[in-house]
Structure 1
Amino acid sequence: MDPAAPPPEIAAWFAGRGWRLRRHQAEMLAAARAGRHALLVADTGAGKTLAGFLPTLADFCPSAGSLPAEGLHTLYVSPLKALAHDVQRNLIAPIEEIGLALRVETRSGDTPSDRKARQRARPPHVLLTTPESLSLLLSYPESAALFATLKRVVIDEVHAFATGKRGDLLALSLARLQTFAPNLQRVALSATLADPDAFRGWLAPWGEIDAVELVLGEPGAPPVVSVLLPEQQRVPWGGHAAAWAVPQLLAQIRAHRTTLVFTNTRFLAEYIFQLLWEHNEGNLPIGIHHGSLSKEARRKVEGAMARGELRALVCTASLDLGVDWGDIDLVVQMGAPKGSSRLLQRIGRANHRLDCPSKALLVPGNRFEYLEAMAAVEAVEAGTRDGEDFRPGSLDVLAQHVMACACAGRFSETELHAEIRASTPYAWVDEPAWARVLEFVATGGYALRAYDRFRRIVRDPDGFWRLAHPEQAHRHRLNAGIIVDSEMLDVRFKNGRSLGKVEEGFGATLSPGDTFRFAGLDLEVEAVRDLELIVRAAKRAGAIPSYMGARMPISAHLADRVRALIVDRAGWGRFPDDVREWLEVQDWRSHLPGPGELLAESFPWRSREYTVFYTFEGWNANQSLGMLLTRRMADAGLSPLGFVANDYALALWGLKPIPDPGALLSPEILAHEWTEWVQNSHLLRRAFREVAVIGGLVERQHPGQRKTGRQVTFSTDLIYDVLQKYEPDHLLIEAAWADARTRLTDLGRVADVLARAARQLVHVRLDRVSPMAVPVLVMIGRESLPAGAADDDLLVEAESLAAEAMRAEERAAEGD
């Protein structure tokens, strides 16, 4: 029998649908029959999910002989609950049409507790879940028996979480599953991997990368991507919401069957949804979807989309991955795409078929975002991917996993250590590091060991570790998780209907009678009680909640492409007139920052002295650099007054000019000053709060009671102060520093700025604002001055610069 040939039942099903088995699907089937792990990298619409499940479907075909025994056969892990539910819908069709005796269920935080209990006692053949729910399943005493029958784990959209803490947790879970089911096959699927070999290494047991077969999918039709430009106005100088495009966007929605409108934040999703409805004279059915809406609201809109009842859906990354709604024929990206892989993923939601090109529109909010959009189009056309690098596994996640293992039953220190080191992210954990982790889980660490509440595991007389008290298992399951959002308030009507959640910080600004807009509704606060906002419908609009989630910075790859576009003077002819003019005037008045260069401009404006650094290293890195440089300015007596940053530039201002920007950017800033700044800022406390929650040192929930964000912060701040004084090398302090270096400050990209400054810093002293400085400087007016005050002055000056340049050009032409 050909190992790549499907069973006759599946072959007949393909033929009945007029489909053919694609090469990569056949290769995935052959890899499974050879007992190999596999990583499939294939374009969106290539049937990746079906390829991952084909071996499972084949196992349950009657022609295969004896059917698999009852019990859990295949585990499917996805980063999103919505994706798991979508996959369940799509799996039901082949199972029913082929007539397979195969039960499929989902399990997530939304699953009712009685169903969860039944799944542990009588599991389905295929369970669709998330990394967090899988970790919780492994914390039950019956987990070894539950997973003993497991044959295959299918990890979908692996690029979305493997490089972060959720990937750390899943890698540890995979190692545990392999202990329970030694012949387990690991399968991962993705459309957007820049470095497949790095993901093969993550997927494989440590040191067994050659056991993972790389399967490359058949190429699909290239996507059709274009940039939307204003019809009646110029590309804006500043802003990122792209509100100018709403009338044109509605025309596009009318011209297509179903449009998916992506935004980069939940605030922007609510804002764009509001603007669309204000201009929606034809009452087109338009919905909204983001992670803070209630489960009921999300399911309702997902069902409406699946049934083809909506003409458009405004959403965030909550629908980035894998959702297969065939009627979508246009994807719109509002604002900058930030990365080619993310954009490719979103584009793939349109015309979700390999032989049908996806269609997408990019809508820039300002002129820099126009260049970013153009760079993204070029990256998509070239098929270039980008993504985050892998880093060592986090200690707080490891501590949570150890606690989950203890909840399942007593464990051998040596055996669990070997199992943990079998996962690639934790292969670095040597004996001393392992001893520190166990000491932390057992006592909280040296400085906290006197407090009984931090004692979670103890050693038996025979050397095994077990829970200090059975109640610890319940407390762990209540609090376990990797995603630590700001504390949230439930938004409910008086009848109990939930709309979703807003952050506690936003809710604290509201009193009865105040209005706000959420879930596309205008709401009035009736009461604020405990962790709930009781609301009713309002007749007037109010503020839109903002969320403190991490900003998506422009990728290094896309930033390089933007810098290349800026200095490609021969290519400016394809840009709209106002963008080309903007670059021409910048070239005439100052300098264009090219690849490898760091441009610094200094000029006076409104009785202040400004310096703008064009770093192109993303918002996080620029914010960090701004904090460090203003401290240096103060030490040098330059009287700094503030700074503002976007993805492309950092602007600082003060009472005195910066005579030598290069002196501010000396590399020693990262040796001591960065450490001192982080130590004395809120950043390390914030990072410690998150790792303390993940590591189980501080609990957010007790039975029947949930702590407020203030209570959690008070607890973590108290412990943080004790540890800094008595045990500064504590395990969680180390974990907090690791987060501060990577996620919170983007230290690696700050270092790249300093390296460029050392190699090629170009400093231009001007007598007035430069055109390229305008997009970042208009942000000052929004943050610290009456709305529009700075913007109007800057735009008048910018337009006068353009007019001056045109007059100079005319005079030069007359001279010729």
Structure 2
Amino acid sequence: MLELPPSLQNWFDARGWHVHPHQRAMLERANAPALLLIAPTGGGKTLAGFLPTLSELAQAPRGGLHTLHVSPLKALAADIRRNLNLPIEEAGLPIRVEDRTGDTPASRKRRQRADPPHILLTTPESLALLTSYEDAPRMFAGLQRVIVDEIHALAESKRGDQLMLALARLNALCPGLRRVGLSATVEDPRAVASLLARHPDPCEIILADPGPDPDISMLQTEAAPPWSGGGAAHAIPAVLEQVKKHKTTLIFHNTRAQAEIFFHKLWLANDDSLPIGIHHGSLDRAQRERVEAAMVAGQLRAIVCTGSLDLGIDWGDVDLVIQVGAPKNVKRLVQRIGRANHRYNAPSKALLVPANRFEVVECLAALEAVRAHDLDGEPRGPGPRDVLCQHILIAACSGPFEAGDLYDEMRSAGPYADLTREEFDDCLTFCATGGYALRAYDQWQRLKQREDGLWQLRDPRSAVRIRQNIGTIQDTDTLKVRWRGRGGAPLGEVEEGFAASLTAGDTFLIGGQIVRYEGLRELVVQVSKDPGRKPKIATFNGTKFATSTQLSQRILRMFQSGDWSGLPAHTAQWLELQQKVSRLPQPGRLLIETFPHDGRQQMVVYGFAGRNAQQTLGLILTKRMEEMGLAPMGFVSTDYATLIWGLDAVGDPAGLFDLGALEAGLEGWLAGNAVMKRTFRASATIAGLIERQLGGQRKTGRQATMSSDILYDTLLRYDPDHLLMRITRAEAMRGLVDFSRVREMCARVGDRIDHVRLTRISPLSAPLFLEPGRVPVNGLADERILEEEVTRLLNESGLAGIDGA
């Protein structure tokens, strides 16, 4: 059993600290092949992960890389380096700690490969790149431990799949390598432990004392939330009052555009000139770092932010977290709450601010879930094969490999434990030739098999291009935004599509400032300052969260119970009126309302399947209605419902919900749709078919889109069963259109459909008519409306009875 050395024990004693039980347990089980520690935010879990490393190096100093720390954020790596150096320096330990991310200078990266530190802090992308070099065996020689911090944030994405493949490669280079996972929010510890395990060795789970429950409630506002929208402008005065009462407040938003809008309105209402900042991923790095430094120094009273501040960074003296808008996911909410009172056994304080009337219900459901410790999470399928293709190319960059050995290595990674040899060979063939339809093109002839059976790069020079394109993060195409006439100082970035919509003189928000668009020069959006005008809003890239299945089910159970005592009076009365006029949705049943409004027939489907799935439902239901001659005209979707309007009333909607017909309709719609092309582009980029970086220069979004669209159309016509086409279909069904939740809804509901025919709008459907993002359906309805208009004009003109009219 590993003991805490005197130098570290003295450091603890000097600070008046005691080693927590879970930190002691990490020392006691330091030699386990794999450990997963689940400890509350502020519980010292990062130090717990490093204590065995510090103890081993203190007792037996040595050179070379001992421990690798992998985290989701570059800023998290830099923050941990600062915090880790404190005990190292004060305890006088001969340990060198460095970080290696995309922000690390190239000169330091070269030195790290030649002379690695004892502890290296990095990200999944940088680790994958390190394993691609020929000298990787020398750099990682002697590596003892890998710590995966905030593992929950990686376990649910392709970055996690990429990381687990990189760990399998490290294990092949360093047999006996120990793995450690750290997290505060894991809904299924066994599933994450299985992901982290070094098969066939198990992963042990250490559960720390969860500490006191958070102090969390809904913010009371004088004005009721609006019926729709996500800005929460009604809460600005109440939020400012809370900021005044606390030292530092983090104000979280679900999207970057919402954060910009809220910051702008908050600043206009900030009559006391409180120091308030904004932080999100589309801002220039220098501006983010200035805000971070001001937070650590305690110079800001509030920071309006997004997921860029979600994870375990200790941002100064934060004593309140405000979540604006429904959290959509309980696990994410718990993570954000943990940013406040970042100390062990100190309750975090948080307030929820619903942006609209329905979000009041969701916020109450989320509060109840947090109090019940009921975290949510969607089950993940097997590891995606586009990531596997990238890993094959990474392996080839590091040197010749034997296919059987690489296959066995990949199967030792949790996400690929069930990978068949046929699936592996399919990916290997693609990496070698591009596949059947592309094998005649030299640019995709990347691997060749030698006479001794080993595989290697056909052209060693291609390793540089492969390394330039390593990664699974597929950012929306963005353009830099810079001041014009101010030395070109950077402000951040906006999406290409948004930039293309601008004309000279247009204004928009970025970094909390209103700027005036002056023009586009060398793919840079040039702006000048333009205060006081009403801005457009930049359509920032970033995740559009969908409400989790578990949270949706909790809302349905709340409806069924009829206990709305925790809701404000205005929302409870709204639900009571809905129950009186129609009925409320229930678990295990599907509520559909039909009624006339504004000269059109309306149908509302309360599927509670999340925004992507409800959007998909709107697409395929209107397609089926078109085929049945019902003349739909358009639809709009939220997380909970889809509203469809058209010319004809739907008699019996049950006939629309045959799962086989829905799936067939989706397949037909997807084949030539932009959704599939966008998904193909992402998977083809990850798999290495499309290069975003070429010769150190990044292709524009338009260039990448053109090349990917041509490839997609070619494969669709000549090789529809190509590996990447199969990957694309699977990814589109699982991700962008989220058809799995449509399937889940149909399986849950069966034939239990409650069709309520009404004579007017129901209370629950009213917000849908105010929802933006309406999708028109062009088809039969257009023709009939045209015919009706012609008939009306002929009648009015007196020409209706004339032959030929």
**How far 1:36 sits from its partner (Å)?**
3.2
**How far 1:418 sits from its partner (Å)?**
1.2
Q: CA, structure 1 residues 781+214, in 2 after alignment: closer, same or farther (shift >3 Å)?
A: closer
Quote the Cα distance in structure 2 between the aligned partners of 1:471 and 1:172: 24
- What residue in structure 1 maps to residue 352 of structure 2? 362
**How far 1:28 sits from its partner (Å)?**
0.8
Is 1:303 the counterpart of 2:293? The answer is yes
Q: 1:777-796 residue pairs with structure 2 within 5 A?
A: 777-779=769-771
- What residue in structure 2 maps to residue 203 of structure 1? 196
- What residue in structure 2 maps to residue 321 of structure 1? 311
1:660 alignment partner, one of 632, 645, 652 = 652
Q: 1:322-471 residue pairs with structure 2 within 5 A?
A: 322-471=312-461
- What residue in structure 2 maps to residue 89 of structure 1? 82
Quote the Cα distance in structure 2 between the aligned partners of 1:100 and 1:400: 39
Q: Retained in 2: the 8 A contact 1:235–1:579? A: no
Is 1:73 the counterpart of 2:66? The answer is yes
Instruction: String of CA shifts for 1:270-309, please: whole Å, max 9, x gaps.
Output: 1111111111111111111111112211111111111111
Q: Supply the AA of the counterpart residue of 1:225.
A: I
Counterpart of 1:187 in 2: which secondary structure?
A: strand
**How far 1:750 sits from its partner (Å)?**
0.3
Quote the Cα distance in structure 1 between the aligned partners of 2:694 and 2:210: 51
Instruction: String of CA shifts for 1:70-89, please: whole Å, max 9, x gaps.
Output: 11111111111121112112
Is 1:47 the counterpart of 2:44? The answer is yes
Is 1:493 the counterpart of 2:483? The answer is yes
Q: Retained in 1: the 8 A contact 2:635–2:774? A: no
Quote the Cα distance in structure 2 between the aligned partners of 1:277 and 1:749: 40
Out of 509-518 and 576-585, give the one that drifted further.
509-518
Quote the Cα distance in structure 2 between the aligned partners of 1:490 and 1:198: 40
Q: 1:254-333 residue pairs with structure 2 within 5 A?
A: 254-333=244-323
Q: Retained in 1: the 8 A contact 2:634–2:775? A: no
Q: Supply the AA of the counterpart residue of 1:257.
A: K
Runs of 5+ unmatched residues, structure 2: 777-805
Instruction: String of CA shifts for 1:377-434, please: whole Å, max 9, x gaps.
Output: 1111111111131211111111111111111112122211111111121123222222
1:8 alignment partner, one of 6, 9, 17 = 6
Counterpart of 1:573 in 2: which secondary structure?
A: coil
1:213 alignment partner, one of 204, 214, 231 = 204
**How far 1:99 sits from its partner (Å)?**
1.1
Counterpart of 1:690 in 2: which secondary structure?
A: helix
Q: CA, structure 1 residues 413+121, in 2 after alignment: closer, same or farther (shift >3 Å)?
A: same
Is 1:605 the counterpart of 2:603? The answer is no
Instruction: String of CA shifts for 1:173-232, please: whole Å, max 9, x gaps.
Output: 000000111121100011111111111110012333x2x11000112111010111321x
2:159 alignment partner, one of 151, 166, 169 = 166
**How far 1:116 sits from its partner (Å)?**
1.3
- What residue in structure 1 maps to residue 783 of structure 2? none
Quote the Cα distance in structure 2 between the aligned partners of 1:728 and 1:219: 51
Is 1:31 the counterpart of 2:21? The answer is no
Quote the Cα distance in structure 2 between the aligned partners of 1:783 and 1:437: 38
Quote the Cα distance in structure 2 between the aligned partners of 1:704 and 1:339: 38
Q: Supply the AA of the counterpart residue of 1:251.
A: E
Counterpart of 2:19 in 1: which secondary structure?
A: coil
Quote the Cα distance in structure 2 between the aligned partners of 1:403 and 1:276: 49
**How far 1:745 sits from its partner (Å)?**
1.3
1:754 alignment partner, one of 734, 746, 755 = 746
Q: Retained in 2: the 8 A contact 1:596–1:756? A: yes
Is 1:222 the counterpart of 2:220? The answer is no
- What residue in structure 1 maps to residue 623 of structure 2? 631
Q: Supply the AA of the counterpart residue of 1:297.
A: Q
**How far 1:758 sits from its partner (Å)?**
2.0
Quote the Cα distance in structure 2 between the aligned partners of 1:778 and 1:403: 49
Q: Retained in 1: the 8 A contact 2:33–2:177? A: no
Q: CA, structure 1 residues 153+703, in 2 after alignment: closer, same or farther (shift >3 Å)?
A: same
2:517 alignment partner, one of 525, 547, 559 = 525
Q: Retained in 2: the 8 A contact 1:110–1:295? A: no
**How far 1:5 sits from its partner (Å)?**
4.1
**How far 1:783 sits from its partner (Å)?**
8.0
**How far 1:763 sits from its partner (Å)?**
0.8
Q: CA, structure 1 residues 244+783, in 2 after alignment: closer, same or farther (shift >3 Å)?
A: farther
Is 1:147 the counterpart of 2:103? The answer is no
Q: Retained in 2: the 8 A contact 1:491–1:500? A: yes
Q: 1:625-774 residue pairs with structure 2 within 5 A?
A: 625-774=617-766
1:543 alignment partner, one of 527, 536, 539 = 536
- The size of the alignment, in residue pairs, is 773
Q: 1:61-140 residue pairs with structure 2 within 5 A?
A: 61=58, 64=59, 66-67=60-61, 69-140=62-133
Counterpart of 2:509 in 1: which secondary structure?
A: strand
Quote the Cα distance in structure 2 between the aligned partners of 1:458 and 1:39: 40
Q: Supply the AA of the counterpart residue of 2:617.
A: L
Q: CA, structure 1 residues 195+229, in 2 after alignment: closer, same or farther (shift >3 Å)?
A: same
1:484 alignment partner, one of 474, 492, 496 = 474
* TM-score normalised over the length of structure 1: 0.93
Q: Supply the AA of the counterpart residue of 2:51.
A: L
1:18 alignment partner, one of 16, 19, 43 = 16
- What residue in structure 2 maps to residue 792 of structure 1? none
Counterpart of 1:611 in 2: which secondary structure?
A: strand
Quote the Cα distance in structure 1 between the aligned partners of 2:773 and 2:122: 46
Q: Percent identity?
A: 49
Quote the Cα distance in structure 1 between the aligned partners of 2:226 and 2:448: 62
Q: Retained in 2: the 8 A contact 1:622–1:646? A: yes
Q: Supply the AA of the counterpart residue of 1:601.
A: E
Q: Retained in 1: the 8 A contact 2:260–2:511? A: yes
**How far 1:548 sits from its partner (Å)?**
4.5
Q: Retained in 1: the 8 A contact 2:148–2:182? A: yes
Counterpart of 2:28 in 1: which secondary structure?
A: helix
Q: Retained in 1: the 8 A contact 2:326–2:362? A: yes
Counterpart of 1:491 in 2: which secondary structure?
A: strand
Is 1:515 the counterpart of 2:471? The answer is no
Quote the Cα distance in structure 2 between the aligned partners of 1:671 and 1:567: 30
Quote the Cα distance in structure 1 between the aligned partners of 2:376 and 2:247: 31
Counterpart of 1:588 in 2: which secondary structure?
A: helix
**How far 1:680 sits from its partner (Å)?**
2.8
Quote the Cα distance in structure 2 between the aligned partners of 1:250 and 1:512: 35
Q: Supply the AA of the counterpart residue of 2:348.
A: S
Quote the Cα distance in structure 2 between the aligned partners of 1:783 and 1:363: 29
Q: Retained in 2: the 8 A contact 1:81–1:129? A: yes
Quote the Cα distance in structure 1 between the aligned partners of 2:772 and 2:303: 33
Q: Supply the AA of the counterpart residue of 1:726.
A: Y
Q: Supply the AA of the counterpart residue of 1:679.
A: A
1:615 alignment partner, one of 582, 603, 607 = 607
Q: Retained in 1: the 8 A contact 2:33–2:198? A: no
Instruction: String of CA shifts for 1:549-582, please: whole Å, max 9, x gaps.
Output: 342111111111111122322x223321111110
Q: Supply the AA of the counterpart residue of 2:261.
A: Y
1:253 alignment partner, one of 243, 263, 267 = 243
Quote the Cα distance in structure 2 between the aligned partners of 1:418 and 1:36: 18
Is 1:185 the counterpart of 2:191? The answer is no
Instruction: String of CA shifts for 1:623-658, please: whole Å, max 9, x gaps.
Output: 000000000111111110111111111111111111
Instruction: String of CA shifts for 1:756-793, please: whole Å, max 9, x gaps.
Output: 44242111001100100012221159888xxxxxxxxx
Counterpart of 1:772 in 2: which secondary structure?
A: coil
